[in-house]
């Protein structure tokens, strides 16, 4: 199969899913000189991009008909299956040589399925989940974890570099998704630590911003502490990444761990705690809303603390 040469102003880019992450990511591609065709189930979420010059398409298949490289970043594996493999999915509209890129955090097995279906049609497929949240998306500082055929992935370097800073090839189809599971397992236990530490500091009567100055740059420092810690202190639980999507990710990782015969009790605990967060009506909050649920266990009304 031919591999496209990526040239700003010539290569046509398609984008499916213009939510919190996707709108920033395709915006960077447009800033780099790539013409974009966009689709979202809620058309209103594409209006700002269309106002900047993107074209609207009424289905993922239509996006692919107008594109050389099609990116998707949607919510759940069932959404990935629909926008990639459905009757009006991107593969249905993709010409031979087109590249389909799924940037959703999804199932490794689905990434392999899409790869095989695309290959049978002469189409390339790459799994490319990201880490960095809404901040990384806005600042084009995402970590992009890549699975698929290495020559195809290398050909897309001008596109990766417009969206991210840490761009690493992990292996064949599904390897990007497996790497993202490693990332999510690390975050799951890490968020428990961040929230419990801030609860402890508060209960001990410490000034939390001052505490963060001491611990944030040492061995206990982390992206979650530095970026989400201040949000927690300021009662800003707006989503960079939705709780309900994180639960989905942990479910995938737990399923994969069971398939491999692994016991991951820390991940299982985090999953149960986040299910409690969702049950308390915070599924559309950011992952740091775990603080509110843990505070309730301690009898603390975090948002109204003195």
143, 150 Cβ separation under 8 angstroms: no
| CA distance linking residue 257 with residue 237, whole number of Å | 30
Of the residues 10, 180, 203, 248, only one is catalytic, namely 180
| CA distance linking residue 289 with residue 69, whole number of Å | 36
Q: Give the closest residue to 135 by CA, choosing from 20, 290, 282.
A: 20
Q: Give the closest residue to 280 by CA, choosing from 234, 240, 247, 232.
A: 247
Angle, alpha carbons 127-129-131 (nearest 5°)? 160
Q: Specify whether 180 is catalytic.
A: yes
Angle, alpha carbons 120-125-130 (nearest 5°)? 160
Q: Tokens for 254? A: 């737990």
Q: List b or e across 73-111, with b for residues whose CB sees 16 or more CB atoms inside 10 angstroms.
A: bbbbbebbbbbbbbeebbbbbbeeebbbbbbbbbbbbbb
What's the burial of 45, exposed, middle or buried (CB within 10 Å: 0-12/13-18/19+)? middle
Q: Give the closest residue to 71 by CA, choosing from 117, 20, 18, 107.
A: 18
144, 128 Cβ separation under 8 angstroms: yes
The 3-state DSSP class for residue 290 equals helix
- Active site residues per annotation: 180
């Amino acid at each position: 199969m031919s591999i496209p040469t990526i040239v700003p102003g010539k290569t046509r880019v398609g984008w499916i899913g213009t939510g919190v992450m996707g709108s920033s990511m395709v915006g960077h591609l447009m800033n780099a000189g790539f013409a974009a065709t966009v689709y979202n189930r809620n058309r209103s979420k594409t209006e700002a991009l269309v106002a900047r010059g993107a074209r609207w398409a009424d289905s993922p298949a239509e996006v692919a008909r107008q594109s050389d490289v099609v990116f998707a970043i949607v919510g759940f594996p069932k959404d990935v299956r629909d926008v990639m493999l459905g009757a009006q999915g991107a593969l249905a509209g993709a010409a031979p040589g087109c590249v389909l890129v799924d940037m959703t955090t999804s199932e490794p097995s689905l990434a392999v399925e899409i790869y095989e279906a695309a290959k049978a049609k002469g189409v390339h497929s790459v799994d490319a989940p990201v880490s960095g949240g809404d901040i990384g998306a806005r600042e084009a500082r995402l970590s992009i974890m890549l699975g698929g055929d290495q020559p195809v992935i290398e050909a897309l370097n001008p596109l990766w570099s417009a969206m991210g800073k840490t761009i690493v090839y992990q292996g064949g189809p599904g390897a990007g998704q497996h790497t993202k599971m490693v990332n999510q397992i690390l975050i799951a236990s890490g968020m428990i630590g961040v929230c419990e530490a801030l609860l402890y500091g508060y209960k001990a009567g410490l000034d939390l911003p001052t505490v963060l100055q001491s611990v944030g740059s040492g061995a206990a420092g982390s992206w979650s502490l530095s970026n989400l810690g201040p949000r927690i202190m300021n009662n800003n639980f707006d989503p960079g990444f939705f709780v309900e999507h994180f639960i989905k990710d942990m479910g995938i990782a737990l399923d994969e761990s069971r398939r491999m015969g692994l016991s991951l009790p820390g991940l299982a605990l985090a999953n149960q705690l986040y299910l409690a967060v969702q049950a308390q009506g915070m599924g559309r909050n950011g992952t740091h809303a775990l603080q509110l649920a843990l505070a309730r266990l301690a009898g603390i009304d975090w948002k109204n603390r003195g």
